[in-house]
Amino acid sequence: MVTPGSTLLGRLRKAVLAGDPAARAEQVMEVGPSTVRADRPLAELAERLASRGLHTAVVTSPDGRRADMEARLTGQH
């Protein structure tokens, strides 16, 4: 979940989204999820994910704004 300025507030997991449709995001989100920075080497990120048994990572800037990695990877940033 991000603000209109793209600052990360929390994470909504799939299992939560399949739950109570009347629940408010602020009630069910994971506050302060672990993030990585966009300038980290991909090999380092892959190793970090593998060592923790994870398949996804939330990428943010130092000020907590969501990073658009698809645009960065395709050179459209």
Instruction: Flag whether pLDDT at 50 surpasses 90.
Output: yes
Instruction: Give the C-alpha distances (Å, rounded to integers) separating 54 from 9, 45, 47, 62.
Output: 21, 11, 10, 22
Q: Which are the contacts of 57, defined by CB distance < 8 A and separation ≥ 6?
A: 35, 36, 45, 48, 49
Q: Give residue 51's pLDDT.
A: 95
> Residue 57: which of 74, 76, 44 has the closest Cα?
44
Instruction: Flag whether pLDDT at 76 surpasses 60.
Output: no
Instruction: Flag whether pLDDT at 77 surpasses 90.
Output: no
Rounded CA gap, 31 and 37, in Å? 18
The pLDDT tens digits for 4-15 are 887 778 888 888
Instruction: Flag whether pLDDT at 67 surpasses 80.
Output: no
Instruction: Flag whether pLDDT at 34 surpasses 70.
Output: yes
pLDDT grade for 72, boundaries at 50, 70 and 90: low
Sequence spans of domains, the chain:
10-74
For 24-30, the CB contacts below 8 A with 24+ separation are 25/1, 29/1
